[in-house]
Amino acid sequence: MRNPFRDGGPLDVAMGWLSPLISIALLWKGIQMAQNGASLWWPLTAGMVVALHLHGRYRRSHRTKRRSSLQQVGDDGPESSS
């Protein structure tokens, strides 16, 4: 049985879609709570969660682009030198 938590696995892909929905919902609820008199820490903390999610998305997209470009260079290297 393959690990569903591996990079590119089904749970990894699902978290990529659920994470922005959950973080934006938290931000929305934090803004509503602050408008109704709750602490301003709720929307600030939720905004940090959104920022962390976007940072993770950015790093993941660049890691996969770099990995695919390194594989292309590695595949061409030994064949062209022969």
> pLDDT tens digits, residue range 43-79?
999 999 999 988 888 887 777 666 666 666 665 555 5
Cα-only R_g, the chain? 20
Q: Which of 15, 11, 46, 7 is nearest to 29 (CA)?
A: 46
pLDDT above 80 (res 37): yes
pLDDT above 70 (res 80): no
What is the DSSP code (8-state) at residue 9? S
Please report which residue ranges of 1-82 form alpha helices under DSSP H: 10-35, 41-81
The answer, as to whether pTM is greater than 0.75, is no
Which whole number is the average pLDDT over 22-42?
A: 93
- Dihedral, CA of residue 49, residue 55, residue 56 and residue 57, to nearest 10: 110
Position 46: which residue type?
A: A
